[in-house]
């Protein structure tokens, strides 16, 4: 293996994996996590929730369908680095208009291929998500190919000096800077909206307003630093908080904004980060998972219907709420009434959804809008529309 094409993946605990440079050559650091999805790698790369994370694909063969202009979930790649086992030599798909490696290189995303991703994933599962770095090209120190103790120690020191994900406030880095509107589409194009939604972009994926617009909703997308007055200015029938990266414990301004929404009894729906923020607004805690849930094959029980859904996940934090029955929301001695955990993970019992029993608000931890699938949870968008229409009808009757 030529030195200029060699790459090293270095974990903060000193574990080193040698491979081949893939994508952009250089250095990158971030929290290393694994995703178990066998399809949808372009959606994964462009998901803002992966900001500052090095993603390991557990599926062995990546890049065979190339890349295209239809599948990205945002305008850029957000992952900090990319780790694959067997990188496709060329794309072979009728929709492809480019190669994955060129896509990574053009956006200066440092990657590594030829890594035993099975062994790497087992290591992360046993030791937990941790910081890591990928080094290739000029970022490799002299003698890197020999993996001498001084070389490894120098690279580990770089990794250990990088920021932790716990305590990271990243929403402003991935959010839109200006409000924009997504009009009703599909069968509802050019028609009067069935509902008006104020959506807070904490790392919003393109597919989210797509789903809402195709159900007849008009979606006003606001920056992460929007105020309650900003949201109220569009006279919304409902408020939505999106997915996003970082530690929910750092999002005090968004939690306070959500409390204003709850106080006004405006229907609320949140996914992923939006679920964690609802939990914190209600007074529950959040905590960091050992290695998180990431992939498109996670089983979740909907306690309302008793059905099991196969769902898409991307989260490293979770809500700490009682799962044995309804509980009084702890904030200000029960100001928001009773709350139940509506969904739970069947793998580890983690809270996967919340439903307020005395307020028009609910949320889920997973991604019902996952473009690459599965689509078992697509019913949640109609459920949000129904909640907004029901609330509006009640207000009209009480007027």
The tens digit of pLDDT for each residue in 95-104 reads 999 999 999 9
Cα–Cα nearest to 72, from 211, 255, 206, 208: 206
Would you say residue 119 lies in a domain?
Answer: yes
Q: What is the pLDDT of residues 373-393, one digit of tens each?
A: 778 888 999 999 999 999 999
**Residues of the chain above pLDDT 90, percent:** 91
Sign of the alpha-carbon torsion through 251, 241, 51, 315: positive
12 classed as catalytic: no
The DSSP code for 228 is H
Q: Name the catalytic one among 12, 31, 309, 369.
A: 369
Gyration radius of the chain over CA positions? 22
Q: Are residues 222 and 281 in the same domain?
A: yes
Q: How many domains does the chain have?
A: 2
Q: Are residues 321 and 366 in the same domain?
A: yes
8 Å CB contact between 96 and 125: no
Any residues with CB less than 8 A from the CB of 156 and at least 6 apart, and which? 10, 12, 14
What is the rounded average pLDDT of the residues 282-295?
Answer: 94
Q: Are residues 223 and 142 in the same domain?
A: no
Residue 395, classified by CB atoms within 10 Å of its CB into exposed (0-12), middle (13-18) or buried (19+), is exposed
Strand stretches in 12-60, DSSP E: 16-23, 27-35, 53-57
Q: Are residues 191 and 329 in the same domain?
A: yes
8 Å CB contact between 87 and 112: no
Angle between the N-to-C axes of helices 273-281 and 252-263, in degrees from 0 to 180, rounded to the nearest 10 = 70
CA distances from 196 to 220, 235, 252 (A): 8, 8, 26
pLDDT score recorded for residue 198: 98
pLDDT score recorded for residue 37: 84
CA 291 – CA 287 distance, rounded (Å): 12
Would you say residue 166 lies in a domain?
Answer: no
Consult the annotation and say whether 337 binds a ligand.
no
CA 65 – CA 254 distance, rounded (Å): 38
369 classed as catalytic: yes
What is the rounded average pLDDT of the residues 293-304?
Answer: 91
The DSSP code for 24 is B
Consult the annotation and say whether 317 binds a ligand.
yes
Q: Are residues 154 and 213 in the same domain?
A: no
Consult the annotation and say whether 314 binds a ligand.
yes
Chosen domain end from 135, 160, 185? 160
Q: Are residues 339 and 200 in the same domain?
A: yes
User: Six-digit token pair at 368?
Assistant: 């019902």
Residue with token string 């909640």: 387
pLDDT score recorded for residue 297: 86
Provide the pLDDT confidence category of residue 326 given band limits of 50, 70 and 90. Answer: very high
Distance of alpha carbon 166 from its chain centroid, rounded? 15
Indicate whether 268 pLDDT > 50: yes
| Phi then psi dihedrals of residue 28, to 5 deg | -145, 150
8 Å CB contact between 221 and 208: no
User: Six-digit token pair at 384?
Assistant: 């949000």
Mean pLDDT of the chain: 95
6-11 and 130-136 strand pairing:
antiparallel
pLDDT score recorded for residue 397: 87
Consult the annotation and say whether 49 binds a ligand.
yes
Cα–Cα nearest to 343, from 375, 314, 367: 367
Would you say residue 391 lies in a domain?
Answer: yes
pLDDT score recorded for residue 3: 44
CA 50 – CA 73 distance, rounded (Å): 12
Q: What is the pLDDT of residues 67-87, one digit of tens each?
A: 999 999 999 999 999 999 999
Consult the annotation and say whether 273 binds a ligand.
yes
CATH of the domain at 308: 3.40.50.880
Chosen domain end from 126, 160, 194? 160
361-364 and 327-328 strand pairing:
unpaired
Q: Are residues 216 and 86 in the same domain?
A: no
Q: Which residues pair with 220 in a beta bridge?
A: 181, 198
Provide the pLDDT confidence category of residue 4 given band limits of 50, 70 and 90. Answer: low
User: Six-digit token pair at 273?
Assistant: 């980060």
Q: What is the pLDDT of residues 105-141, one digit of tens each?
A: 999 999 999 999 999 999 999 999 999 999 999 999 9
The DSSP code for 48 is G
- State the residue range of the domain holding 117: 3-160
Rounded to two decimals, the pTM is: 0.94
Provide the pLDDT confidence category of residue 399 given band limits of 50, 70 and 90. Answer: confident
Would you say residue 381 lies in a domain?
Answer: yes
Q: Are residues 146 and 216 in the same domain?
A: no
Q: Name the catalytic one among 51, 293, 343, 367.
A: 367
Q: Are residues 262 and 315 in the same domain?
A: yes
Report the SS3 class of residue 113.
Answer: strand
Provide the pLDDT confidence category of residue 2 given band limits of 50, 70 and 90. Answer: very low
Provide the pLDDT confidence category of residue 1 given band limits of 50, 70 and 90. Answer: very low
Select the more confidently predicted residue: 20 or 39: 20
Q: Are residues 136 and 176 in the same domain?
A: no
First-to-final CA distance of the chain: 76
Consult the annotation and say whether 276 binds a ligand.
yes
Q: Name the catalytic one among 73, 272, 313, 340.
A: 272
Indicate whether 221 pLDDT > 60: yes
CA 372 – CA 19 distance, rounded (Å): 28
Would you say residue 369 lies in a domain?
Answer: yes
Q: Are residues 153 and 218 in the same domain?
A: no
Neighbours of 180 (CB within 10 A): 12
**Residues for the chain: how many in total?**
399
CA 66 – CA 98 distance, rounded (Å): 6
16-23 and 61-62 strand pairing:
unpaired
Would you say residue 311 lies in a domain?
Answer: yes
Q: Are residues 126 and 176 in the same domain?
A: no
356 classed as catalytic: no
CA 31 – CA 47 distance, rounded (Å): 15
């Amino acid at each position: 293996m030529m030195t200029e094409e060699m790459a090293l993946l270095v974990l903060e605990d000193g574990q080193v994996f040698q491979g081949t440079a893939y994508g952009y050559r250089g250095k990158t650091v971030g929290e290393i996590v694994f995703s178990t999805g066998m399809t949808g790698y372009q959606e994964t790369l462009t998901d803002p929730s992966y900001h500052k994370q090095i993603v390991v694909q557990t599926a062995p063969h990546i890049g065979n369908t190339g890349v295209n202009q239809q599948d990205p979930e945002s305008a850029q790649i957000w992952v900090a680095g990319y780790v694959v086992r067997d990188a496709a030599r060329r794309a072979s798909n009728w929709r492809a208009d480019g190669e994955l490696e060129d896509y990574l290189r053009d956006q200066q995303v440092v990657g590594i291929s030829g890594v035993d991703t099975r062994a790497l994933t087992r290591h992360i599962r046993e030791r937990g998500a941790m910081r890591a770095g990928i080094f290739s090209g000029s970022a490799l120190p002299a003698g890197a190919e020999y993996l001498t103790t001084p070389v490894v120690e120098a690279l580990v020191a770089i990794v250990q000096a990088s920021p932790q994900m716990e305590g990271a406030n990243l929403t402003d880095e991935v959010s839109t800077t200006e409000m924009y509107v997504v009009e009703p589409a599909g069968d509802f194009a050019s028609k009067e909206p069935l509902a008006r939604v104020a959506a807070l972009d904490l790392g919003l994926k393109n597919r989210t307003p797509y789903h809402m617009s195709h159900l007849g909703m008009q979606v006003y997308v606001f920056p992460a630093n929007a105020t309650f007055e900003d949201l109220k200015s569009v006279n919304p029938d409902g408020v939505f908080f999106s997915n996003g990266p970082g530690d929910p414990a750092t999002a005090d301004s968004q939690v306070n904004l959500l409390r204003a929404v709850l106080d006004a009894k405006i229907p609320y729906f949140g996914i992923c980060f939006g679920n964690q923020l609802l939990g914190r607004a209600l007074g529950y805690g959040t905590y960091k998972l050992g290695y998180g849930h990431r992939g498109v094959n996670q089983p979740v029980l909907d306690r309302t219907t008793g059905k099991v859904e196969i769902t898409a996940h991307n989260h490293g934090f979770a809500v700490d709420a009682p799962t044995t029955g309804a509980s009084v929301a702890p904030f200000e001695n029960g100001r928001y009434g009773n709350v139940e955990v509506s969904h739970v993970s069947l793998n580890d019992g983690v809270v996967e959804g919340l439903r307020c029993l005395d307020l028009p608000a609910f949320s889920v931890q997973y991604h019902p809008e996952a473009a690459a699938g599965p689509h078992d949870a697509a019913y949640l968008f109609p459920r949000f529309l129904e909640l907004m229409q029901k609330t509006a009808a009640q207000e009209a009757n009480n007027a």
